[in-house]
Structure 1
Amino acid sequence: MAEYFQKLRQPLLQEIRKGRVFATLEEPERLVSSKQTLGNSTSENVQFLAKLKFDECGRLCLHHLAETRPPPPHHHFIQFSELMQLVNTSSRLAFIELGARGRTLGRLWIRLFPNTIKGQQFALLCTGERGPCYAGTKVFAVANKGHNMEESVCFGDYEWNSGSGGKAVLDDIDWEQEVVKAIYDRTWEAGIVSCSEPEHRAAQFAITTRDWCETECIGGFGKVESGLSVLTDAIAEFADIRECFIQDCGIALLT
């Protein structure tokens, strides 16, 4: 796939900058078929496409899959599975973009720790390739709001947007054991992304906003690399954090 990008380097990059390149779950030549399957559902005349765009820092971003009907004409389509070959699986870089009251608040870039099941699942929920997706989900709580330590913001209930759901999208995983195993040589510091223990809430995650304590980080699977101020500013601005939601998400390619 890297060679593919090199061959079409200038023409393809120009089309990406124009917003005219999408990733598709289907083979591109079959995109015009009347049915598209995502997860366990089949919809007539609906395609699930993911935008491919550069951000303001020049990172090539694969955005989440979203319903599109019909497929836009005069655009280029690349198979989603091929783009996955451009992901640095040892150090995935994902993003979530927050919105509220009809405006964009900003984007958080999250570097996922290597070899964690939770990190793999987080990336899947940022792209929506298994069906469920973080896009459109609410920020549902601020835990320990205002405390000098332990303040964190809770996300990821794609089922109920309340904190009561968000089941795993990976099967046959002992999630409690995964939490125990996820201990790293780092402390609870601002920006750590950690997981929920029960399987029925295994897609949920929390981001710490302040340096916490000099103890081992248990259950952490990533850290905010940039954009944490977007979250702290939202806490300060919105008395009800549930006004905020993830309006976009995805992963970076070629990082």
Structure 2
Amino acid sequence: MANNTKSVLVSARMEEEVTCVVCSELYTRGSREPVVLPLCGHTFCRPCLCNLENTGRLSCPTCRQTYAGPPVDKLPTVFALLSLSEHFRKSEGHGCQRHGSPVEFWCRSCQLPLCGHCLLDEHVKDGHRVVRGTDFIAEQKEQILSECTMLIQDISNRKGQCVNRFSEWIAQIIAGVEESAVLWNSTQNVQNIMNDVADATNIESILVSSSMLGSLKEEVMKVAPRDTRSRTASDCSLRCSSCSEMDSASLLGLLRQESSPDVEYQETEFEETEQTNAPEENIPNLTASVSDVAVPEDKTDSSSSDSSPPRQDSLGNAPLVARQVSSSSSIGRETSQTPRDAGVTTLFGTVPWPLRCCVVGPGGRRGKLRWEGGRLHMYALGEEIEEPHFMVQMSVLQYLVPEDYQEVFLVLETDGRCLGRVYIRLWGRIRRAQHFLALCLGSLGPSYRKSVFHGVAKRGAPGETLAGGKYLTPEGLTSVQALTGHLEWGGGYIKEKQRGLVVGANAGKPELDAFFHICMKDQPGRRFACAFGEVIQGMEVLHAAVTHLRNSDVTISDVGVVLASTAP
């Protein structure tokens, strides 16, 4: 009896040594290999330490000492402990507890494992259905694997439903925020109409106020709660909510761009843009139809007066203007004579109005979340955004971006005028596409916002490309250094030159990995070394950019990604 007790204690002690204290799983080769933290000497399985590392600051789960060594993935495996764990697995649970003999049979009637002695002593009887252990294991494996497959499918379906519900919640919040801003603006316009009517002295003034009131009611109804799923992505696809936000003075500090060196597969003989003093009226306006639909973002200022300039709503609707028929009609009038949109009063006080929502990423940097063209748009981090009422973590929203391909957008501007918006579909399983996405979101720090297209390669000829990629660093300089490593080049990523392809243009050099070209004209028989996406909307905007690059800079005034969310 004493020997059995001692054996049990030894076995328990060994199990403790080969078990990770975080997940309580035995160390296993490949999936749960043991690694030791060098500073304190405590050992854990690699996946558990990686999970802790991904949360930010890694501390030892046992002694709480902060770990500041190399990444957990680089720590060596403790093979001695792994060997001990494998030996423990082999020694536990494979012998008959009564006889110590190998378990080789299974009794279906008793639902028990049997050794040869058990079989002879108790189970060679009528009614006992005994099968070989190997047959029982094969049957159970097939059944368990089948049930696991069904469970995985069920979990996958449930995850999809969960993501859809979550996506709808986010869309509802952002749509509500957008609606609150439109209603705020509408209240100001109603006040202007009331002021004009109070001072009206002729029929023309009354008719103008009546017309403006009808337009105002129509605009308010457009943002009434409704099902917008029938709206298509093309409804407002080229409307730019951020065109009016471009501060032209901020572009004066950009360094002049220089062409990159000639490399194989790269179009580098491009015209460098040179600033000229040519009058604006001499510049061909090839994009009037595009820029005419540009919609500036509604920046609500609670301190603005009744005479504030009219603004467009944030859903891309036409500007709503209540014109002052008499410029002096409202001078000296106290604002208390007309109702103010002070928000919504509840039992707990007044709700802040209008509501504001944004995305927040690493370091607390923020970006806009906008409902545009029937789809949810997330803008790059790094904007100065007024303190919001709702903030959504970028890590949560990125879960709504499809894995296979992502759709990003670039808002192009020249001389303070919006050219329009370009939508690009990235082939998401390519690391170079993921790198481009990071620069569209600013998730790794810099972004392509305020980046300037620096030239056109092979202008007017087959294979013509628009060249860009020099992003701004926090110090105000430009860089094309890769933000991540091991980006693809050549091999299976070579594609024939086709209009709309977005391609790498760096000769495979990490220090140039942010360079990209957009193909403007087909060139059969010639190839790009690494294509990672394609333009799906806005080629006319890019052609306008190529034209304007003869005389002026073309800037990416804003950039972001379209989220896979349903309309509210």
TM-score, scaled to structure 2:
0.37
SS at 1:239 equivalent = coil
Q: Does residue 180 of structure 1 match 2:490?
A: yes
Partner amino acid, structure 2, of 1:99: E
| Corresponding position of 1:248 | 558
1:113 is aligned, of 424, 427, 443, to: 427
| Corresponding position of 2:156 | none
Q: Distance in 2 between matches of 1:140 and 1:21?
A: 34
The alpha-carbon distance between structure 1 residues 236 and 23, as it changes in their structure 2 partners (threshold 3 A), is same
**Unaligned ranges ≥5, structure 2:** 1-162, 182-313, 315-355
Q: Does residue 100 of structure 1 match 2:414?
A: yes
Q: Does residue 233 of structure 1 match 2:544?
A: yes
Partner amino acid, structure 2, of 1:60: L
The alpha-carbon distance between structure 1 residues 15 and 226, as it changes in their structure 2 partners (threshold 3 A), is same
1:22 is aligned, of 358, 364, 379, to: 358
RCO comparison, higher one (Cα < 8 Å, 6+)? 1
Q: Does residue 204 of structure 1 match 2:518?
A: no
1:151 is aligned, of 464, 469, 487, to: 464
**Unaligned ranges ≥5, structure 1:** 27-36, 38-46
| Corresponding position of 1:59 | 375
**Which segment is superposed worse, 17-26 or 194-203?**
17-26
Do the aligned residues in 2 keep the contact of 1:5 with 1:12 (CA within 8 Å)?
A: no
Partner amino acid, structure 2, of 1:231: L
| Corresponding position of 2:226 | none
Q: Distance in 2 between matches of 1:118 and 1:246?
A: 20
User: How far 1:104 sits from its partner (Å)?
Assistant: 1.0
Do the aligned residues in 1 keep the contact of 2:481 with 2:512 (CA within 8 Å)?
A: yes
Q: What are the within-5 Å matches in structure 2 for residues 155-174 of structure 1?
A: 155-159=468-472, 165-171=479-485, 173=486
SS at 2:489 equivalent = helix
Partner amino acid, structure 2, of 1:93: E
Q: Distance in 2 between matches of 1:143 and 1:180?
A: 20
Q: Does residue 194 of structure 1 match 2:503?
A: yes
Q: What are the within-5 Å matches in structure 2 for residues 10-89 of structure 1?
A: 10-16=172-178, 18=181, 20-25=356-361, 37=363, 47-55=364-372, 57-68=373-384, 72-73=386-387, 75-89=389-403
Q: Does residue 128 of structure 1 match 2:442?
A: yes
User: How far 1:74 sits from its partner (Å)?
Assistant: 5.0
Q: Which has the larger radius of gyration?
A: 2
User: How far 1:9 sits from its partner (Å)?
Assistant: 5.5
Q: Distance in 1 between matches of 2:427 and 2:170?
A: 32
User: How far 1:11 sits from its partner (Å)?
Assistant: 4.4
Please list the CA deviations of residues 87-118 of structure 1 after superposition, one character each: whole Å capped at 9, or x if unmatched: 01211111111111111111110011241111
Instruction: Calculate percent identity across the aligned residue pairs.
Output: 26
The alpha-carbon distance between structure 1 residues 60 and 9, as it changes in their structure 2 partners (threshold 3 A), is closer
Do the aligned residues in 1 keep the contact of 2:451 with 2:556 (CA within 8 Å)?
A: yes
Partner amino acid, structure 2, of 1:211: D
The alpha-carbon distance between structure 1 residues 248 and 11, as it changes in their structure 2 partners (threshold 3 A), is closer
The alpha-carbon distance between structure 1 residues 114 and 215, as it changes in their structure 2 partners (threshold 3 A), is farther
Runs of 4 or more, structure 1, over 6 Å off, are none
Q: Distance in 1 between matches of 2:561 and 2:410?
A: 9
| Corresponding position of 1:40 | none
The alpha-carbon distance between structure 1 residues 194 and 134, as it changes in their structure 2 partners (threshold 3 A), is same
TM-score, scaled to structure 1:
0.79
Higher strand share: 1
Q: Distance in 1 between matches of 2:420 and 2:546?
A: 13
